[in-house]
Chains A and B, each alone.
Chain A
Amino acid sequence: MKFKKKTATLVSFTVGTLLLATTALADITSKSGYEELKDSIKLTAEQTSEKYDSFTLDFSMALKDNGKTIMNNNEIGKFDRKKSASESISTGLSLNGDKSSSQSYSDKTTVIHTSAGDQTYYITEYTKERKEEIFSNPFKEEEAEDLEKIADALVGSLKDHVVVAENSDGSKTLTGSLTEVQIPSLINAVASFQLKQEFNGNGNQGSSMPHLTKDVFVKEVTGSAKVNPDGVMESILGTAILSGKDEQGTVHEISIEALIKVKDINSTEVSKPNLEGKKVIKNVAKDYSDSEISNPEKFIGKFKNDIVIEKDGKFVKVGERTLDITKMDNKNVAGRYSETFKQGFENYASDFSELTFAAQIEKDQRGNADFESTTKSGEKVRGNIYFSEYDGKVNFNIHNMNSPYAGGLMFDASFSPDLD
């Protein structure tokens, strides 16, 4: 009897362990719909950024309030990896009811942009060939793996809501839907609060967006995706419905729909727009990322601004400051600084009103230089000069002149070229 009990205990222990081990193994190896979805997204990103020569990405979204469209946006992006060219056409209706559409084209040396409101073609030409990847794989970024882990943890038990159906041609359809009972309350609360803030945010005043104030919650989230036999995603559609009441107590159901399609793989043609007979504005792009100014001689000459004081509640011009750059290359700069006062204001002139300076441009700091000089009375002056190629101005500062300046003078550090 004793022996029998021991055997029975051992047998049941073994059976339990085996049962646990086998099913756990089966569970680990079985791929959930969520995993398949993830794999397919990753594969799609990889193929489009590294393998396919060309493809078209069609993205559209719509925002509806109780079934009435209040905003939509459609963007068709054509990418040609071989030529490094891309084309995008976007059309949309904004929340304010404005319709918009624009078109742009970009390759290694040109960017062309035009929009429906303004039929002009703006062309930017690059003197150097740009090295830009037209489409980079977001999963290759450093933090992608960590983000994926966090996403997995957040999705948690919702993973099982993705259902995979295999079609006869080898393609797969993934679907998933969540209603309010299935969405964990915390996630629902955080998501609806976020969306509510976003929708009621500044800039949406006076738009067709209803102002939700009460009982906001995520009512439903659905999604479906189509994966081709190679495992690449052809289309993915997502819909979310947010329900809430406005101040009058009217119930609004705002639905957000987004659809992304990948199509014309290896058969997309990106073509440069035909500019014949069109109004064109051309501009050569400057490369501001260089460490040196491309043609520094353009800064040789006079730069000016006004000296102003406040008098009887008005601004009055009392004189001018002049900066005369006599020498400028990418190593050295020299010039004169002077203040000239109008009649009746001559006594504003100080020791600093007449200076000559010479300085060396700091290495790798595009037109930035510190200088030292001495005034007529022998006082040392320190200052800084900066040539701004971007807005065609010169910034000139004397450190010894503490603001507010003596006598209520208002100085401007930025000098404009004197071209008259």
Chain B
Amino acid sequence: MAVFQAALLNEIEKLYRKKKVLVAILLSLAVIVIGQLVIVGVRSGFGLRGTGSVEFPMLVLSVVVNTILPLFTALVTIDSFSGEFSQNSMRITLTRPISRFKIYTAKITSIVLFILGALLLLLVFSMLAGFIFNANSASFDSLGRTVFSYLVSILPMTVLALGIVLLANIFRSGIAVFFISILIFLAFKVLGLLFSQYSSLFLTTQLDWYNLFLVNSFPLAKIARQFLIMLGSGIMLFSAGFYIFDKKEF
């Protein structure tokens, strides 16, 4: 365990030193600021309320979870794998007395922590903006649902990251992985719209699964199914990615 902790700390340190994380934070804040400006504009221009204090974080989540969050998850993931493959720093990591499985897990854990951090940051700032600039519409129930929606979004994002990890282990070039990820992401989005009946097969649909927690009746069966789909694909992608990572020669 101590070995794993060290590896994880090492990975987080590497992640933290990257400029990408800073850019991700700045962009997230920019989304909140721009979103709030649009809402204020709509309010004074069209006489609409736009959003209330609780709806604003939900608006931010719905935008971010389909745009900049997957984008930066992809960048960070590619950096952590493809980047190290090409810089040959992976060799240095592997020379340490630690199993490949632990390195692999530590890398993924650090990516998950990045996603969690980004979500929490967005939650805190969008809530702040929501309460300062919008008419209060919060109730204990809706507040709880909002926080919960942010937290459950980590699951589909993790599955997405695992998918990109697999791609990063298959293809050597980071740029190739990035573009293939984006293409698959867009293709899944379109397919999910066209074949809405089969949409749960396409992993991008689950990015919006937080909506299920907003439903009054709490559709437990549907939530369980979606959770199992994500769990299944998560395990599948994790093991496939590890299989290749384990076989790789550096």
Contacts and interface: CB of A to CB of B under 8 A. Distances in A.
A188 B228 CA distance: 32
A153 B229 contact: no
Interface string A5-29: 1100110110111111101101110
B62 A185 contact: yes
Which of A15, A156, A160, A212 has the most chain B CB atoms closer than 10 A to its own CB?
A160
B229 A23 contact: yes
Interface in B42-67: 42-43, 46-52, 54-55, 58-59, 62
B217 A163 contact: yes
A315 interface: no
A5 B196 CA distance: 39
B170 to A, nearest CB: 15
B229 A193 contact: no
Given A27-B229, A152-B196, A216-B48, A17 B236 contact: yes
Q: Which of B49, B193, B233 has the most CB of A within 10 A?
A: B49
Contacts of B70: none
B234 interface: yes
Contact of A181 (B46, B200, B214, B243): B214
Contacts of A6: 243
A213 B58 CA distance: 25
Given A16-B232, A185-B55, A160 B215 contact: yes
Of B42, B237, B243, most buried by chain A (CB within 10 Å of CB) is B243
A42 interface: no
Given A13-B235, A181-B54, A182-B214, A27 B246 contact: no
A1 to B, nearest CB: 11
Given A16-B233, A20-B233, A212 B243 contact: no
Interface string B209-223: 001101111010110
A27 B222 CA distance: 8
B42 A189 contact: yes
Interface class of chain B by DSSP: helix
Given A5-B246, A16-B232, A163-B217, A27 B226 contact: yes
Contacts of B95: none
B84 interface: no
A55 interface: no
A50 to B, nearest CB: 26
A13 B48 contact: no
Interface in B234-248: 234-240, 242-243, 246
A185 B49 CA distance: 10
A181 B48 contact: no
Contacts of A188: 51, 55
A12 B211 CA distance: 30
A196 B48 contact: yes
A153 to B, nearest CB: 5
Interface in A168-197: 177, 179-182, 184-185, 188-189, 192-193, 196
Contacts of B216: 161, 177, 179, 182
B168 to A, nearest CB: 17
A243 B137 CA distance: 12
B102 interface: no
A358 to B, nearest CB: 64
A294 interface: no
Contacts of A156: 208
A303 interface: no
B236 to A, nearest CB: 3
B16 interface: no
Contacts of B184: none
B214 A9 contact: no
B47 A13 contact: no
A239 to B, nearest CB: 15
B200 A24 contact: yes
A17 B229 CA distance: 9
A113 interface: no
A15 B198 contact: no
A418 interface: no
A181 B58 contact: yes
Given A13-B236, A16-B236, A180-B52, A24 B135 contact: no
22 contacts: A9-B239, A9-B243, A10-B243, A12-B235, A16-B233, A16-B234, A16-B237, A16-B238, A16-B239, A19-B232, A20-B236, A23-B229, A24-B201, A149-B196, A160-B211, A161-B216, A181-B145, A181-B146, A184-B62, A185-B50, A185-B55, A217-B49
Given A9-B243, A27-B222, 14 more contacts: A12-B238, A12-B239, A13-B243, A16-B231, A21-B232, A23-B229, A160-B211, A163-B219, A180-B55, A181-B214, A182-B211, A182-B214, A189-B48, A193-B48
Interface of B: 42-43, 46-52, 54-55, 58-59, 62, 101, 135, 137, 142, 145-146, 193, 196-198, 200-201, 208, 211-212, 214-217, 219, 221-222, 225-226, 228-229, 231-240, 242-243, 246
- Closest CB pairs A-B (n = 4): A16-B235, A19-B232, A20-B232, A16-B236
